[in-house]
Amino acid sequence: MSVSPPLGFWNLAAIVPHKEANHHFTDPEVSFLGTAADRAQRLGVELTLALINAMFYSGLLWEEDPDDFLKKLSYVDESGCKRNLLGFGQFHPTQDTKKIKCWLGY
């Protein structure tokens, strides 16, 4: 299962008809990610981490704190209200590198 439909950017494949029919984590009807808040938080964290990694490998510098960036993202909850995401919580992706390396086993 893919995170989203093919975007045709980076190393993602071009859009092909058989992949457009697949379910994705970004589909609103995908319920195993939890509530709208859980789903938005999980996808926001993954997308922010992907951006951090892409910037690193591109040799580009990002001056904004990733935790602040994540908190600026928002979603619409089940009642139709706009809500901002929470921060990373358990770790900071650029400040807690020792903790992350421990979790990864090296």
C-alpha closest to that of 67 among 83, 49, 53, 54: 49
Q: So where are the chain's domains?
A: 45-104
Whole-angstrom distance, CA of residue 104 vs CA of residue 106 = 6
Rg from Cα positions in the chain: 16
Please give the model's pTM, rounded to 2 decimal places: 0.72
**Distance between alpha carbon 49 and the CA centroid of its chain, in Å?**
6
The 10s digit of each residue's pLDDT in 9-41 is 555 555 566 666 666 666 766 667 788 898 899
Check: CB of residue 14 under 8 Å from CB of residue 8. Answer: yes
The 10s digit of each residue's pLDDT in 44-69 is 998 898 888 888 888 888 888 999 99
Check: CB of residue 86 under 8 Å from CB of residue 71. Answer: yes
Beta strands 74-76 and 82-84 are: antiparallel
pLDDT level of residue 90 (50, 70, 90 thresholds):
confident
